[in-house]
Amino acid sequence: MSPPARHKLSLVAAALLGLPLFACSTALPKITLAPGAAVTHAAPIATAPTKDANGIMSPGRSAAVLQAVRAEGRSRQFDRHLSILEREQEILSRGNTVQLLVDGPATFESMFAALEGAHRSILLESYIVEADEIGQRIATILKRKRAEGVDVRLIYDGVGSFSTPPDFFAELREAGIDVCEFNPLGIVRRTFGLLEANHRDHRKVLVVDGRIAFTGGINLSNVYLSASLGSTRRKRFTTEDGWRDTHVRIEGPAAADFTNLFRDTWQRQNCGGSPIASHLPETASAAPPAGKRLVAVIGSVAGENSDRLYRTLLSAIVGATDSIHITMAYFVPDPQTLKALADAARRGVDVVLVLPGQGDSLITLRAGQSHYGQLLEAGVRIFEMQGSFLHAKTAVIDGVWATVGSANLDWRSFLHNDELNVIVLGEDFGSRMEALFATDLAHSEPVSQEEWAARCAPRRMMEQLGRLLEYWL
């Protein structure tokens, strides 16, 4: 059984035993944006704020930046989603480069290069940190960089990394690295009660020198060592097969938002040590823009602003006019999300979902599949990936609004976890995401309405059991 499956089952088992695991609100916000409403004027360009290393830019400079990205193409869609982001009070950071990283090998290569180039600080946060080949290689770099005088911090989740030997982290501490465990399990660690056990840090974050940041779905584990496109097609996968996942490397002012979110977690968890700097010389106002990409960094915290990411994603879905293309590892949607997807398909939006054909948690897979009938009837097209374990959490909407991050489309991500996604606005990055989505489609099989209606009774029973437990999955 893979690590994510073990962690999910441990929390579900606690729920079934009746333990009081609620650590956050059970309510999701209602999104009231008018579906598909058109933007018929230039007000968003004129009024939407953007920011750089100095903070909020003047209206004139913001308008010039936005107009340049708008000129890349699909201007009507750009205006629409800029207006939606402004409505949700999300501020875009200008002057960034965004590199799309597909699967573990490419991601680890880029992360190792950034770590080797660190001069001042390394902030690393991951749900899973394992003491395997990947973990040991990263540990070696972190120890060497700390010996060179680099400020190195690590946050790992108490559930996600529960099976990692404590000696692995002890050796990092002995090397002078500041290490912090997020919400350790109280029965073993004796640091907090079960009331907090359901609140997990699901983020995957690396920030180097306050200027380069990484995020996405990839944990620090050997299961990501193989590229997904190298997998053979077969009915059942093993953890030796390629894991299909997506990460991004961002260079520019947006990295400061990652630093701020890391610092907030460090402080909330009482991790100690010296204060984490707000920014470093590389992010000062004298630094030239790294690129042209507009980026919003969306961090959510269970029980505080856990609805931020939910509102942002659902508003984009409700406001879509042309296409909604989602590749999602864990798909256990709430009623409002289901309705938003179905309504979009009914009004003519091309709604296509690429979902797992196999899963590391059968009950989670069946819970999501229990909603297929409603979606297929509305005209949503569903494809299931074959031959690889799908772990990506991405979406591209109307070709201009794209997100990559740690959040799944499920209750856990929107209510119980700390998550982090980035939104990149513009046709340039949107087209790269659409190309990746087309590749995912080519490695997936369609689910027809007729085929789905003919599935067997035991399968339907498992789906209903998953539906009963979906809040906890």
Tokens 């990746």 — which residue? 436
**Structure letter (DSSP) for residue 302:** T
Query: Per-residue DSSP letters for 397-444?
Result: ETTTEEEEES--EEHIIIIIEEEEEEEEESHHHHHHHHHHHHHHHHTE
Q: Decide if 295 contacts 93 (C-beta within 8 A).
A: yes
Query: Three-state DSSP class for 66?
Result: helix
From the candidates 157, 209, 334, 410, give the one annotated as an active-site residue: 209
From the candidates 393, 410, 418, 443, give the one annotated as an active-site residue: 393
Tokens 């009070």 — which residue? 89
- For the question of residue 391 being annotated catalytic, the response is yes
- Of the candidates 262, 253, 259, 246, the one whose C-alpha atom is nearest the C-alpha of residue 301 is 262
Q: Decide if 406 contacts 393 (C-beta within 8 A).
A: yes
Query: Three-state DSSP class for 166?
Result: helix
Strand pairing of 389-390 and 204-208? unpaired
What are the structure tokens assigned to 69, written together?
A: 């990205």
Alpha helices in 156-292 (DSSP H): 166-174, 186-189, 255-268
Angstrom distance (rounded) from CA 14 to CA 196: 12
- For the question of residue 440 being annotated catalytic, the response is no
Query: Three-state DSSP class for 224?
Result: helix
- For the question of residue 7 being annotated catalytic, the response is no
Greatest Cα pair distance, the chain, in angstroms, is: 65
Angstrom distance (rounded) from CA 323 to CA 241: 31
- Of the candidates 254, 441, 415, the one whose C-alpha atom is nearest the C-alpha of residue 336 is 415
What are the structure tokens assigned to 464, written together?
A: 């209903």
- For the question of residue 209 being annotated catalytic, the response is yes
- For residue 451, what are the CA distances in angstroms to 120, 196, 338, 412? 57, 42, 21, 30
- For the question of residue 145 being annotated catalytic, the response is no
Query: Three-state DSSP class for 138?
Result: helix
From the candidates 7, 81, 199, 204, give the one annotated as an active-site residue: 204
Query: Three-state DSSP class for 273?
Result: coil
- For residue 435, what are the CA distances in angstroms to 75, 181, 320? 19, 38, 19
Alpha helices in 30-132 (DSSP H): 43-47, 59-70, 75-87, 103-116
What are the structure tokens assigned to 285, written together?
A: 């106002």
- Of the candidates 21, 16, 19, the one whose C-alpha atom is nearest the C-alpha of residue 412 is 21
From the candidates 202, 247, 292, 416, give the one annotated as an active-site residue: 202
From the candidates 81, 292, 391, 416, give the one annotated as an active-site residue: 391
Which residues carry out catalysis? Answer: 202, 204, 209, 391, 393, 398
